[in-house]
C-alpha cells in the first residue's frame, strides 16, 4: 500500500508549495513593491487620502460654569461628484437626509462642477443618515466636516466681550483677542482608508500632523449678574434716550469683573440687526470709550489730599459758587438757582458735590504729585483684559494753563478714561488703598490665574476715611444719592455728571453729558464696587443720581441677593447718618495756594485768626470723622510691562500663543499717551454737575 502514501505526500507538498508562493507574493506586494503600490494608490486617490483634522475650538465659560461660547455639534456637507453615483435614486436618498432638493444635486452632477460645499449646518442625526448612504451606495465623494459654528447662550448680554466667530473667522472680544489659545492648531491625516473612509490602523503616512485642540477659558463673569447688569443698563439707555451705557461690577480684593455689561449690543446667534443705535461688532465702551469721569472723581482727589496731609476732615472751604483760577472761573452747579454751598467740610463737599472744594484740594496737592497719582491709579494704562482694542486714558501733559488744568482735574474734567480704568482706580479705596489689576480671565485650561496687586496707592486709614465720607452721599439727607438707599444696608457712593465738549463748536455748550454713579456694597466693608456710566442722555434728565443711580440700586440688590450679603443697618428708609447730629466746628478754612510752577506743591492754610474773613463770618458746622496723620504714604512704584494674561498664556500653552495668529501683543510705553487737544477745553463759565 505504498502508492496512497506517496499521493498524500505529493498533495501535502503541493499545498505547502502553494502557501510558500502566496507568502512570497504577499512579501513582494507588502515589502518589495510596497512603495510603488502606495504611490499608485496615492496617484489614483482611491484609498490613500489626505484629510484635514480640524482642532476643536476651546469653550469659554463663566465663573459659575455656564458656557458663553461653544462649538455646535453640526457639520457641513461636501460632495465630489466624480466619486458618487449619478442616479436619481442616490440623489433622492441624499435629499431625504439633508433636505436639499434632489434636482439641485442632479443639475450639479451634469455640469462642469466637480465639487460643491453646502454651508447650511447638518445635524448629528442627518450626519448619521448620510454615513449610511455613503456606505450602502459606496459613495466615496460624500464628506462631512465640522461646521465651525458657535453658540452663545448669553446672547447680547455677553457678546461685546466674548466676540463672535463668523465663517470660521473670529471677530471682536475674546474670540479674537485670545484666538490662538481658543483655536488650537489643525492637524492633517495622510494614509490608507477602508471602503467606509476610515483610516486603517498603522497605515498613517509620516507626513501626518497631529491636531492640538484649543484651550478652554474660564472667566470671572457671573452669568446671573451679567444678565441683570445688561437688562438694567439697557433699560437706562432706552428710557433716557442715551447713546450708550455701561455697568461694571468688580470685586475690589481680587479684581474679578463679575459683570461688564453695555448697551447697545447684538445677538451673535442671529447676527441680525441689534437693538439700539450705532451697534458695531467688536465695539465695547467698557474698555474702548474714553469718557470724563465727572464728580465721582472727587473721591480720588480727596483721598490724595488726605494722604498727603494737605486737607483734613476739619478743614473747610467756603464755596460762594465759583472760584477764580488764573483768568478763568471754576463754578459749581446751580442747585435750585443757587450755586453757593457756603462753608463746607470735605464730608459735606462730597455729599453735595462741590466743585470749588474739589478744585481747592487739587491745587493744594500740586500738579506734579497729582499727575503721578493719575499714573499710579492706572488711568493712563491699558487694562490688559486680553481683548482687542483696549485703550489707555487721555491727558494733555503739555497744557499751558497748568493751574486751570489742575483745578479741573480735581472734579473729574480735563482727563478722559475708560470705565474699566475708573472702576479699577476707585476700587482701591475698597481694598485698603491697594490697587488690584482688573481681570476678566480667571482660568486658562485647568490652571488658575492669581490676582495681581499693583501697589499701595494710599494708606489703609486714608481709604477708610474716604469710605466713611462716601456713605454720606447715600445715607444722609444732604447727599445727592439719598434716593438710592436700601433698607437694612449702609451703602457708599458718589454721583457724577460730566459735561461733554461739543465737537462742532469746540465749546461745552450743547455737548451733552455723561451721567455717572459709583457705589460700594456694603458701604463700610465693601465686597463689590458697582460703576455705571450713561453717555449723552437726551430724555430730559442728565444728573448722575437720577440717570445712573437707579441702575446702581438695582444691581446692588442683585449683588446682595446673589452673594447673601447680611444686613448691616436697621430695616428703615430713614437716614441712618444725620450730619446735624455729628456737628463739630470747622477748625480751619483752607484756600488754594498761590500757584506757580516753582511752588506748585505748596499748601496754604487759613488759621483760626483768619476766620474773621467776611466770607467765613458764619461758619457751618460739620462732623469730624477721623484724625489725620500728616505723613504722606509711600507706596512702591508700579512696574509697567507686558500683558500679564499674555504672559500666563505663554507659560501654559507656549505652542498656541503665536503672535501672528493672536495679533500683536499690547504695548505700553513708559511715557503715557498724550493728547494734543484734550485738557484744553475749559472756557469761562464751565461747570460740572454732581
Q: If we measure between CA atoms, which residue out of 633, 170, 586, 578 comes closest to residue 369?
A: 633
Q: Is the peptide bond before 264 cis (omega within 30 degrees of 0)?
A: yes
Q: How far apart are CA 69 and CA 154, in angstroms?
A: 9
- Which whole number is the average pLDDT over 298-314? 95
Angle between helices 298-308 and 355-365 (to 10 degrees): 40
Asked whether the predicted pLDDT for residue 600 surpasses 70, the reply is: no
Task: Fill in the DSSP letter of residue 57.
Answer: P
Angle at 449 between CA 447 and CA 454, to 5 degrees: 165
Look-up of cell digits 455729628? 582
- Sheet containing strand 605-606, strands side by side: 342-344, 315-319, 588-590, 605-606
Q: How far apart are CA 140 and CA 197, in angstroms?
A: 7
**b/e 129-165 (16+ beta carbons within 10 angstroms → b):** bbeebbeebebbbbbbebbbbbebebbbbbbbbbbbb
Look-up of cell digits 486714608? 462
The DSSP element (H or E) to which 51 belongs, if any, is strand 48-53
Q: H helices within 389-440, ranges in order?
A: 402-410, 419-427
- Give the per-residue pLDDT at 297: 94
pLDDT per residue as tens digits for the range 256-272: 999 999 999 999 988 74
579 phi/psi in degrees, rounded to 5: -60, -35
- Give the per-residue pLDDT at 592: 83
Query: Strand 244-250 vs strand 217-219: parallel, antiparallel, or unpaired?
Result: unpaired
Asked whether the predicted pLDDT for residue 302 surpasses 80, the reply is: yes
Q: How far apart are CA 429 and CA 300, in angstroms?
A: 8
- Give the per-residue pLDDT at 23: 72
- Give the per-residue pLDDT at 589: 82
Q: Yes or no: say if 246 and 422 are a contact pair by the CB < 8 Å rule.
A: no
Q: How far apart are CA 206 and CA 616, in angstroms?
A: 90
Q: Yes or no: say if 397 and 445 are a contact pair by the CB < 8 Å rule.
A: no
Q: How far apart are CA 219 and CA 256, in angstroms?
A: 9
- Give the per-residue pLDDT at 399: 86
Q: Yes or no: say if 344 and 620 are a contact pair by the CB < 8 Å rule.
A: yes
Count Cα neighbours of 513 within 13 Å in the Cβ-side half-sphere: 26
- Give the per-residue pLDDT at 595: 57
Q: How far apart are CA 620 and CA 233, in angstroms?
A: 39
- Give the range with max mean pLDDT: 32-46, 65-79, 520-534, 566-580: 520-534
Task: Fill in the DSSP letter of residue 634.
Answer: -
Q: How far apart are CA 56 and CA 73, in angstroms?
A: 11
Look-up of cell digits 484756600? 591
Q: How far apart are CA 439 and CA 383, in angstroms?
A: 8
Q: How far apart are CA 474 and CA 521, in angstroms?
A: 12
513 phi/psi in degrees, rounded to 5: -140, 160
- Give the per-residue pLDDT at 601: 38
- Tell me how long the chain is: 690
Q: Which of 205-214, 399-408, 474-483, 537-546 has the lowest mean pLDDT?
A: 205-214
- Which whole number is the average pLDDT over 305-326? 91
How much is the mean pLDDT over the chain?
Answer: 80
More confident residue, 260 or 328: 260
CA distances from 257 to 203, 380, 627 (A): 50, 20, 34
Q: Where are the beta strands (DSSP E) in 132-276?
A: 142-146, 150-151, 164-166, 169-171, 187-193, 199-204, 217-219, 244-250, 257-263
CA distances from 330 to 152, 405, 408, 413, 690 (A): 49, 11, 8, 11, 14
All cell numbers assigned to 678: 484734550
When pLDDT is cut at 50, 70 and 90, the band that residue 599 belongs to is very low
- Give the per-residue pLDDT at 140: 80
Q: If we measure between CA atoms, which residue out of 452, 390, 450 comes closest to residue 421?
A: 390
- Which whole number is the average pLDDT over 326-353? 82
Task: Fill in the DSSP letter of residue 622.
Answer: B
Q: Which of 38-47, 55-64, 94-103 has the lowest mean pLDDT?
A: 38-47
More confident residue, 435 or 275: 435
More confident residue, 38 or 153: 153
Q: Which of 424-428, 476-480, 487-491 has the lowest mean pLDDT?
A: 476-480
When pLDDT is cut at 50, 70 and 90, the band that residue 142 belongs to is confident
% of the chain surpassing 70 pLDDT: 74
CA dihedral 86, 90, 95, 101 (to 10 degrees): 30
- Give the per-residue pLDDT at 507: 57
- Which whole number is the average pLDDT over 117-129? 84
Q: How far apart are CA 398 and CA 581, in angstroms?
A: 47
Q: Which of 4-18, 53-67, 200-214, 410-424 has the lowest mean pLDDT?
A: 4-18
More confident residue, 302 or 609: 302
- Give the per-residue pLDDT at 37: 62
When pLDDT is cut at 50, 70 and 90, the band that residue 128 belongs to is confident
Count of C-beta atoms within a 10 Å radius of residue 641: 10
Q: 206: buried, middle or exposed (CB in 10 Å: 19+, 13-18, 0-12)?
A: exposed
Look-up of cell digits 485738557? 679
- Which whole number is the average pLDDT over 396-425? 92
Say whether pTM exceeds 0.85.
no
% of the chain surpassing 90 pLDDT: 43
Amino acid at each position: 500500500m505504498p502508492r496512497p502514501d506517496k499521493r498524500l505526500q505529493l498533495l501535502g507538498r503541493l499545498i505547502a508549495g502553494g502557501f510558500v508562493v502566496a507568502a512570497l507574493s504577499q512579501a513582494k506586494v507588502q515589502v518589495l513593491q510596497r512603495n510603488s503600490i502606495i504611490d499608485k494608490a496615492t496617484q489614483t486617490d482611491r484609498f490613500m487620502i489626505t484629510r484635514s483634522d480640524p482642532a476643536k475650538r476651546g469653550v469659554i465659560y463663566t465663573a459659575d460654569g455656564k458656557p458663553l461660547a461653544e462649538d455646535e455639534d453640526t457639520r457641513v456637507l461636501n460632495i465630489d461628484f466624480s466619486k458618487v453615483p449619478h442616479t436619481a435614486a442616490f440623489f433622492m436618498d441624499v435629499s431625504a437626509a439633508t433636505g436639499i432638493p434632489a434636482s439641485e444635486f442632479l443639475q450639479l452632477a451634469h455640469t462642469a462642477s466637480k465639487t460643491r460645499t453646502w454651508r447650511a449646518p447638518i445635524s448629528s442625526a442627518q450626519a448619521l443618515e448620510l454615513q449610511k448612504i455613503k456606505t450602502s451606495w459606496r459613495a466615496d465623494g460624500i464628506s462631512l466636516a465640522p461646521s465651525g459654528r458657535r453658540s452663545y447662550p448669553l446672547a447680547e448680554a455677553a457678546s461685546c466681550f466674548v466676540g463672535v466667530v463668523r465663517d470660521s473667522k473670529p471677530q471682536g472680544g475674546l474670540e479674537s483677542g485670545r484666538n490662538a489659545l481658543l483655536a488650537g492648531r489643525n492637524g492633517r491625516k495622510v494614509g490608507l482608508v477602508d471602503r467606509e473612509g476610515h483610516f486603517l490602523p498603522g497605515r498613517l503616512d509620516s507626513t501626518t500632523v497631529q491636531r492640538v485642540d484649543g484651550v478652554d477659558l474660564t472667566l470671572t463673569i457671573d452669568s446671573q449678574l451679567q444678565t441683570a447688569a445688561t437688562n438694567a443698563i439697557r433699560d437706562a439707555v432706552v428710557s433716557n434716550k442715551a447713546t450708550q451705557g455701561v455697568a461694571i461690577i468688580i470685586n475690589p480684593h481680587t479684581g474679578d469683573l463679575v459683570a461688564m455689561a453695555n448697551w447697545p449690543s447684538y445677538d451673535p446667534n442671529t447676527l441680525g440687526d441689534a437693538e439700539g443705535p450705532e451697534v458695531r461688532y467688536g465695539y465695547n465702551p467698557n474698555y474702548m470709550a474714553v469718557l470724563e469721569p465727572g464728580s465721582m472723581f472727587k473721591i480720588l482727589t480727596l483721598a490724595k489730599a488726605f494722604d498727603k496731609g494737605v486737607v483734613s476732615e476739619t478743614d473747610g472751604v467756603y464755596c460762594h459758587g465759583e472760584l477764580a483760577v488764573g483768568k478763568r472761573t471754576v463754578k459749581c452747579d446751580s442747585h435750585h438757582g443757587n450755586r453757593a454751598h457756603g462753608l463746607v467740610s470735605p464730608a459735606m463737599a462730597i455729599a453735595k458735590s462741590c466743585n470749588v472744594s474739589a478744585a481747592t484740594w487739587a491745587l493744594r496737592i500740586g500738579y506734579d504729585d497729582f499727575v503721578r497719582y493719575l499714573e499710579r491709579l492706572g488711568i493712563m494704562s491699558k487694562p490688559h483684559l486680553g481683548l482687542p482694542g483696549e485703550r489707555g486714558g487721555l491727558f494733555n501733559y503739555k497744557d499751558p494753563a497748568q493751574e486751570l488744568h489742575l483745578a479741573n482735574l480735581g472734579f473729574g474734567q480735563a482727563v478722559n478714561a475708560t470705565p474699566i480704568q475708573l472702576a479699577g482706580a476707585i476700587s482701591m479705596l475698597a481694598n485698603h488703598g491697594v490697587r488690584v489689576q482688573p481681570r476678566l480671565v480667571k482660568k486658562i485650561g485647568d490652571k488658575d490665574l492669581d490676582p495681581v496687586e499693583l501697589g499701595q496707592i494710599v494708606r489703609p486709614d486714608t481709604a477708610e476715611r474716604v469710605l466713611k465720607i462716601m456713605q454720606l452721599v447715600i445715607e444722609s439727607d444732604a447727599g445727592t444719592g439719598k434716593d438710592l438707599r436700601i433698607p437694612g444696608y449702609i451703602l457708599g457712593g458718589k454721583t457724577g455728571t460730566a459735561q461733554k465738549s461739543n465737537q462742532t463748536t469746540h465749546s461745552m455748550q450743547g455737548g451733552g453729558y455723561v451721567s455717572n454713579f459709583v457705589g460700594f456694597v456694603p458701604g463700610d466693608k465693601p465686597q463689590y464696587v458697582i460703576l455705571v456710566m450713561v453717555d449723552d442722555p437726551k430724555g430730559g434728565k442728565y444728573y448722575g443720581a437720577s440717570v445712573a443711580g437707579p441702575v446702581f440700586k438695582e444691581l446692588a440688590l442683585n449683588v446682595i441677593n446673589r452673594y447673601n450679603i447680611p444686613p448691616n443697618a436697621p430695616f428703615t428708609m430713614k437716614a441712618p447718618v444725620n450730619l446735624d447730629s455729628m456737628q463739630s466746628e470747622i477748625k480751619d478754612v483752607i484756600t488754594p495756594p498761590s500757584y506757580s510752577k516753582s511752588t506748585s506743591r505748596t499748601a496754604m492754610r487759613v488759621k483760626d485768626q483768619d476766620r474773621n474773613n467776611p466770607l467765613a463770618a458764619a461758619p457751618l458746622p460739620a462732623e469730624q470723622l477721623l484724625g489725620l496723620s500728616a505723613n504722606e504714604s509711600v507706596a512702591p512704584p508700579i512696574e509697567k510691562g507686558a500683558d500679564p494674561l499674555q504672559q500666563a498664556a505663554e507659560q501654559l500653552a507656549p505652542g498656541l500663543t503665536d503672535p501672528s495668529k493672536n495679533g500683536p501683543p499690547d504695548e505700553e510705553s513708559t511715557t503715557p499717551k498724550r493728547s494734543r487737544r484734550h485738557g484744553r477745553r475749559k472756557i469761562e463759565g464751565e461747570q460740572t454737575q454732581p
